Amino acid sequence: MNGKILLPIVLVGLVAPAHTAERVSLKVSPAVAFAPANIFVRATVDRNADNRMLEIIAESPEFYRSSEVSLDGDRAPRVIMLQFKSVPGGAYDVRAVLHAQDGHELAATETHLNVVDGSE
């Protein structure tokens, strides 16, 4: 009985991929800042002929800022860096969304950022 249970578990482990690469990753610095903050965003994109646009979004309940970067498929740079200046206080979701030529989403990732308001 134990052998019958163990065998399917081992087979599943052999078939499942050991590591799934992310198509886009995101790093924001600093992770915590004081308002008004200058935020640096670094997105790393896997090279792919379908990549046409990278959208970076910083959003809180009171504030929204975004930037779009055109990509030339697999000839685009892997690392895209940008800066959001004078970001006001708040808790932010920072997203990177990778789009294809027709505009559909290929991949997305998200991280969080806290900008401390000096009046708190």
Per-residue confidence in pLDDT tens, the chain, 120 aa: 444 444 343 333 333 333 335 899 999 999 889 999 999 999 999 999 999 999 999 999 999 999 999 999 999 999 999 999 999 999 999 999 999 999 999 999 999 999 999 765
Closest CA to 54 of 100, 22, 11: 100
Q: What is the DSSP letter of 75?
A: G
pLDDT given for residue 119 in this prediction: 67
- Residue for token pair 């640096």: 40
* CATH number of the domain to which 111 belongs: 2.60.40.730
Count of structural domains, the chain: 1
Task: Give pTM, 2 decimals.
Answer: 0.78
Residue numbers of the domain that contains 56: 21-116
Contact 61, 111 (CB under 8 A): no
